Structure 1
Amino acid sequence: MEYVVGIDGGGTKSAISILDLQGNVLFTGRGGPTNIRSEGREKACENLKNLIVKSVEKMHLKLGDCRAICVGTAGAGREEEKEIITNCLKEIGVKGNIVVTHDAEIILSETIEKREGIVIIAGTGSLVYGRKDGIEKRAGGWGHLLGDEGSAYYIAVEGIKAALRYYDGRGNYTKLLYMMMERLNVKRPEEFIGFVYKDGITKADIAELAKVVDEAYKEGDKEARKILEKSAKELFKLAKAVIEAFEWENDEIPIVVTGSVFINNEFVFKEFSRLIKRYYPKANIKKLDKDASYGAAILALNFLKER
């Protein structure tokens, strides 16, 4: 049976969808992170290979019957990373058409009519991408050292900083110190250094601590609330840059939000939505209601139809 494959390659986990040539879903699954910038080339390729091979084997399909595969992952709009991913796929025997693009593209292709609108991703990292009249604009996506404002990594690091400021006596009281120490199973605050700078620690490992900030907020912690408010504001600023670049201020803007921060943190989603509606009342905001790997598979299928 001939088929297409779509992959949403995240920094924390990845998803796969396999469709037949009529667009029917044959299989969906999950795997390890396949983002090169967060995992490194070797680990990301290993995870990508395992995800594809195991999924195909489960369905008793042949790799040689894969007509097209689309991988959407942060940073893959850059030629160097496209080449790495393409070579990785060829190594496992993919002979069909290969499409490599960034993660926002696969979301836009699935959720917005005519593929025009804005996608805001706030997962391990953060990015805003928009398209109008064939023109593309983006803001963010610079990685955790240069950006990723509003992301899970950003929230986690801000949480650690607030905890250590309190420990030093130069910051306000926060439950974050004790809650993070408990989550990491460390006895002394000095051990945060060993965790953050340990060999092999990934951006995704640190981003997991964003959950602790959300838990502290729900327990009434004021410093945790400030961090989440800052996250929402930073995400709004990213969206604002793209909205105003397109001069969409007074239009009915289709906006899709996705990523662990929006999906798991209701406060950030509501605060972000409040800011958008305050300045752009005609905007239509929705959370992604399907797996982004499905959008990648649709892109792969459309690629075949357009040839």
Structure 2
Amino acid sequence: MKRWGGVEYVIGIDGGGTKSAISIADLRGNIILTEYGGSTNIRAQEESQVYDALKSLIGNAVEHAGLNIEDCKAICIGSAGAGRKEEQEVIKDYVKSLGLKGNIVITNDAEIVIAEMTGGREGIAVIAGTGSIAYGIGKNGERVRVGGWGHIVGDEGSAYYIGLEAIKAALRCYDGREPYTHLLPMLMEEIGIATPEEFVRFVYRKDIRKSEIAALAKVVDQAHKKGDNKAKEILMDAAEQLFLLAKAAIRGIKAEQDAIMVVVSGSVLINNLLVYKEFVKLLTKEYPNVTVEKAKADASRGAVIVALKSIKLI
């Protein structure tokens, strides 16, 4: 493909745990190209794999757009695995090694979700996938992060939280400490175990992945649709936990009276209707001026906006 030397542009990347999206835009924000590749989440895989994925994702996109890497004026990568400074520095070093000379912004996935949905203005993002976090950007650019502490000490309201609470409820049912719940046989079937005692081996084995527990959230939704009271209780609790994350973020940027957008993302809030409806109900009752919107599947265009803002073009 012919290369257009001297054509300046920016790159935005939405770095997911299973796949990533990249958008290239000119300096007026017009999208030139959007493509998809593998995971670039530094928490989801080995650092060497993240480097290889970034090299492939960026290199292929720039080549397919017929551009030169040295003409990139700014790049923004938003990833759930880049919420803290040490993680951001690792990814920034990777990007520099690829030959990019422009401005490099590494941030969390919540910031690019907000940028995508608000056009770069203030807002709140509540993300509930395998984990959970809320993130707020205020009128004056102030930022607040709530939650995101990981599955052992946090991640309330997440798919992992829902899955683990379901296993606990199933075992209490088996013990006779609580009334019967469909969660017991349904979880056993989903996991592929013959006796409740085997839950112990499943949960405590050394190679257990967070995603395996998180995947059980869909069983809780299925049980709720069958009329299971315990499943409904777990999902209602998850909605309240996510509401509390949002509430703290709104309070953190002092937007209690503002007409602010709350953007929701992640499998729990996008796919679980009960959790979403209860979350919206709690939030709008507390803050009547708030509007709630579901995020788009790909926030790479939000990353483009952050990249353009970093070089003061918007």
TM band (smaller chain): 0.7 to 0.9
Q: Which amino acid aligns with 1:128?
A: A
**One of 273, 285, 307 as aligned partner of 1:300:** 307
Structure ID, larger Rg: 2
Residue 126, structure 1, aligned to residue 116, structure 2: no
**How many residue pairs end up in the alignment?**
307
> How do residues 210-221 of structure 1 correspond to structure 2 at under 5 angstroms?
210-221=217-228
Distance 1:290 1:182, change over 3 A: closer
Distance 1:205 1:16, change over 3 A: farther
**One of 31, 37, 42 as aligned partner of 2:43:** 37
Contact 1:38/1:204, CA 8 A, preserved across alignment: no
1:4 maps to 10
**One of 275, 281, 291 as aligned partner of 1:284:** 291
Consecutive unaligned residues in structure 1, runs of 5 or more? none
Q: CA deviation at 1:113?
A: 5.3
Q: CA deviation at 1:306?
A: 4.6
Quote the RMSD (CA, aligned, Å): 2.7
1:23 maps to 29
- Identical amino acids, percent of aligned pairs: 54
Cα-to-partner distance string for 1:68-94 (whole Å, 9 max, x where unaligned): 321112352422111111123334444
1:249 maps to 256
Distance 1:12 1:174, change over 3 A: farther
Using structure 2 for the length normalisation, give the TM-score.
Answer: 0.85
Q: CA deviation at 1:264?
A: 0.8
- Provide the rounded CA distance (Å) in 1 between the counterparts of 2:201 and 2:39: 23
2:178 maps to 171
Cα-to-partner distance string for 1:265-306 (whole Å, 9 max, x where unaligned): 111110000001111112111112362121012222333445
Residue 106, structure 1, aligned to residue 112, structure 2: yes
Consecutive unaligned residues in structure 2, runs of 5 or more? none
Residue 83, structure 1, aligned to residue 89, structure 2: yes
- Provide the rounded CA distance (Å) in 1 between the counterparts of 2:242 and 2:58: 33
Contact 1:11/1:204, CA 8 A, preserved across alignment: no
Query: Which stretch shows the higher mean deviation, 160-169 or 55-64?
Result: 55-64
Q: Secondary structure at the match of 1:172?
A: coil
Distance 1:174 1:113, change over 3 A: same
Structure with the higher helix share, 1 or 2: 1
Q: CA deviation at 1:47?
A: 4.0
